[in-house]
Structure 1
Amino acid sequence: MKDIPLIHIHEKLGAKILPFAGYNMPILYEGVNAEHETVRNAVGVFDVSHMGEFMISGPNALALIQKVCTNDASTLTIGRAQYTCLPNNEGGIVDDLIVYKMKDEEYLLVVNASNIDKDWEWISAHNDVNAEMKNLSDDYSLLAIQGPKAIEAMQTLTTIELAEIKNYHFEVGTFAGIENVIISATGYTGSGGFEIYCKNDEVERIWMKVFDAGAFYGIKPIGLAARDTLRLEMGFCLYGNDINDTTSPFEAGLGWITKFTKEFVNSEKLKQQKELGVTRKLVGFELVDRGVPRQDYEIVDKDGNTIGIVTSGTMAPSLNKGIGLGYVTMPFTTPDSEIYIRIRKNDVLAKVVKLPFYKKE
């Protein structure tokens, strides 16, 4: 297992450290519910320095990205980011990622920690256009400062107007006295805030200044367990749970990031799938009766016939009810459809709902 640069700080803060995606990561500090509510109501900081960063540059950088990604990166302007995925040849997903246009002919790809090596090999194997590729994953740290008070709490650390960074936009500038920091609004919690990309030897200084600036606002460190409940309340996919090498973008509800304005890996077959339709789809569901759905629980109909499987599930702290994502056959994908989650031999009634589960008042 690798250590992230601030592991000593998390240990000192009393975090529960567990292996995650090849790294020793802070999973929990004071408890999932308390940390979850901190992000929903105030401001919290996730250390997600395990994420991977690739720089793709040169005259053919865009050509390579267009070839390996489903979304259309040609629409990006400098300072904008885009959610996309890497399709495989079998109709599944190698990974989901974010593409940042840093400069003309320079793009930053941020990938999931568990897939760094897999993604690097996949993109490299398709680089027949000689785009320049650099794997910066071991050199960069990433802090996600999330919550409705994040902007107000952090504004003293930069002259960049944080409130003016729109969703899926970013700025590069000075933050907490460190130059060339990427400040991006590409959060994964649904509660506002932004992410800070910096070099490993800069992250401790930034962490300390972030907590000094946020003290008045009740800032707290937040673990990955609460990150999972927060993203699930928003209905955001997690690679390895809700999407993987066997799930297609159309099954996963990611048709909106699959653009046939250009050719890409397996685009012909995916186009066909779009036209013909799919036999199952990822849906959100809420339990009507008490219970907590978990990954790999069976989804059945009223007669007990298997119609799908749970991919993510939890007791939602903001909603105080069991929620989840799962793949079900097409007849059960419409909102208000009644389905049952098999929890320890009991079939617990649930209903399909529109995402997100959590809606800001």
Structure 2
Amino acid sequence: MSDPRRTPLYERHAALGASFTDFGGWDMPVRYTSDLAEHHAVRRAAGLFDISHMAEFEVSGADAGAFLDYALAGRISTMKTGKAKYSLLLAGSGGVVDDVIVYRVDDEKFLVISNAGNRALVAAALAERFTTATAGFTVGVSDVSDEYALIAVQGPRAQEIVSATPGIALDGIAGLGYYAWLGGSFDGAGLFVARTGYTGEDGFELLVPNASAGALWDALLAAGEPFGLVPAGLAARDTLRLEAGMPLHGHELSVDILPAQAGLGRVVAADKADFVGKDALAAAPDDLPVLVGLTAEGRRAGRAGYAVLDAAGTPIGEITSGALSPTLGHPIALAFVSPASAAVGTALLIDVRGTRIPATVTALPFYRRTA
């Protein structure tokens, strides 16, 4: 097994005292001080995340939109320049190879960002779909992941921090809508800034050439200090996304899970003429397990793999992600359960190491920002 890769910011994380973990084949900071402190900083002020392990693909050409309509589950060709869209890359079976965000750069160019651990799978799928579906199309697909770093500023003070950072030249950030992007520069280098994130808070993701990543990280950290910005690791990122009800590939999404099971049926443009997975989705049974939110009292949280039982003690599902919510102060979890037990308000049980903990099916997200 090869050693984990390191982002251009690794040495800065080490200097800040970060603890590291192997995540998707990358040596990534899991925390700097404490999970709770970093989580609360994002909810109350802002956190700075290195997400340079994510993978980036450029899809360009006169028929790029038509190609992505076939390759992905959503309708991509009708996107407006400057906008972003959450979508799914499906297998022929209808299961989820990966969830991605697509940005329309111009009339003939799109940027697709995927999860780090699925980079090879996404590259292979796009290449295969390019081969099978692009006869007569003018389109090209390039993996540009190794050229860029990606830094996220997340939290209610994110806009103030990005605006206050020396070296960033960016017009119109105050008017930038959610799931939209702007082009600018940082110290003369190209800068791509999107109002997207994975925390349930306002925030931005900044794509910059590797050579400028360290200087940008330093500038953001210094500019953000008066606003309460702190560097934050993967542990806080996970509890933040869980509170926001956002799925994580390998937990709530996989090639064995259909979009509708994960509550993502709305992401699929089922009326498109053709796309990979279309026939399998149309033929899928309607009694498959579905994703629900669970809340419980006390301090003992259900974790991934723990069984979910109905009120009579019969196993009816399994937790995929769970934690004691730092913001809400009680246990929360995502779980797949039988449709008969999925209605909001249904009383269930979680088997926490042999102890049955009462839980209630709860509408998602668990947490929603108020402004």
Shorter-chain TM-score bucket reads over 0.9
Structure-to-structure mapping, 1:43-192, within 5 angstroms: 43-128=46-131, 129=134, 131-157=139-165, 158-175=169-186, 177-192=187-202
Deviations 1:111-163 (A, max 9, x none): 00000001100110110316211111111110010010111122133342322
Report the Cα distance in structure 2 between the residues aligned to 1:215 and 1:343, rounded to whole angstroms: 40
Confirm or deny: 8 A CA contact 2:126 2:141 kept in the other structure.
Answer: no
Q: Cα gap change, 1:147/1:344 in structure 2, threshold over 3 Å: closer, same or farther?
A: same
Q: Cα gap change, 1:278/1:185 in structure 2, threshold over 3 Å: closer, same or farther?
A: farther
1:232 equivalent in alignment to 2:242: yes
**How far off its partner does 1:289 sit?**
4.4
**How far off its partner does 1:187 sit?**
1.1
Aligned residue identity for 2:242: L
Report the Cα distance in structure 2 between the residues aligned to 1:111 and 1:69, rounded to whole angstroms: 12
- Determine the structure 2 residue equivalent to 1:196: 206
- Determine the structure 2 residue equivalent to 1:318: 327
Aligned residue identity for 1:147: G
Report the Cα distance in structure 1 between the residues aligned to 2:105 and 2:368, rounded to whole angstroms: 32
Report the Cα distance in structure 2 between the residues aligned to 1:28 and 1:323, rounded to whole angstroms: 21
Aligned residue identity for 2:326: P
Aligned residue identity for 1:9: R
Report the Cα distance in structure 2 between the residues aligned to 1:322 and 1:19, rounded to whole angstroms: 26
**How far off its partner does 1:193 sit?**
1.2
Report the Cα distance in structure 2 between the residues aligned to 1:160 and 1:59, rounded to whole angstroms: 28
Aligned residue identity for 1:337: T
Identity of aligned residues (%): 35
Report the Cα distance in structure 1 between the residues aligned to 2:157 and 2:346, rounded to whole angstroms: 37
Aligned residue identity for 1:282: L
- Determine the structure 2 residue equivalent to 1:332: 341
Confirm or deny: 8 A CA contact 1:80 1:168 kept in the other structure.
Answer: yes
TM-score, length-normalised on structure 2?
A: 0.94
Confirm or deny: 8 A CA contact 1:251 1:278 kept in the other structure.
Answer: no
TM-score, length-normalised on structure 1?
A: 0.96
Unaligned runs of 5+ in 1: none
Greater shift, 38-47 or 124-133, is seen at 124-133
Confirm or deny: 8 A CA contact 2:159 2:174 kept in the other structure.
Answer: yes
From 282, 295, 299, the equivalent of 2:291 is: 282
**How far off its partner does 1:165 sit?**
1.0
Report the Cα distance in structure 1 between the residues aligned to 2:92 and 2:140, rounded to whole angstroms: 24
SS of the equivalent of 1:303 reads coil
SS of the equivalent of 1:100 reads strand
- Determine the structure 2 residue equivalent to 1:218: 228
1:253 equivalent in alignment to 2:256: no
Confirm or deny: 8 A CA contact 1:189 1:227 kept in the other structure.
Answer: yes
Aligned residue identity for 2:164: T
Confirm or deny: 8 A CA contact 1:53 1:109 kept in the other structure.
Answer: yes
**How far off its partner does 1:334 sit?**
0.7
Structure-to-structure mapping, 1:258-273, within 5 angstroms: 258-262=268-272, 263-273=274-284
Deviations 1:154-191 (A, max 9, x none): 2133342322110100001124x244211001111111
SS of the equivalent of 1:36 reads helix
SS of the equivalent of 1:292 reads coil
- Determine the structure 1 residue equivalent to 2:12: 9
Confirm or deny: 8 A CA contact 1:29 1:221 kept in the other structure.
Answer: yes
Deviations 1:210-237 (A, max 9, x none): 1121121121100011000000000000
SS of the equivalent of 1:284 reads strand
Report the Cα distance in structure 2 between the residues aligned to 1:24 and 1:290, rounded to whole angstroms: 31
Confirm or deny: 8 A CA contact 2:348 2:358 kept in the other structure.
Answer: yes
SS of the equivalent of 1:291 reads coil
Deviations 1:59-79 (A, max 9, x none): 221222111111110221110
Confirm or deny: 8 A CA contact 1:281 1:333 kept in the other structure.
Answer: yes
1:360 equivalent in alignment to 2:363: no
SS of the equivalent of 1:127 reads helix
- Determine the structure 2 residue equivalent to 1:41: 44
Aligned residue identity for 2:148: Y
Confirm or deny: 8 A CA contact 1:139 1:200 kept in the other structure.
Answer: yes
Confirm or deny: 8 A CA contact 1:289 1:348 kept in the other structure.
Answer: no
**How far off its partner does 1:348 sit?**
0.7
- Determine the structure 2 residue equivalent to 1:351: 360
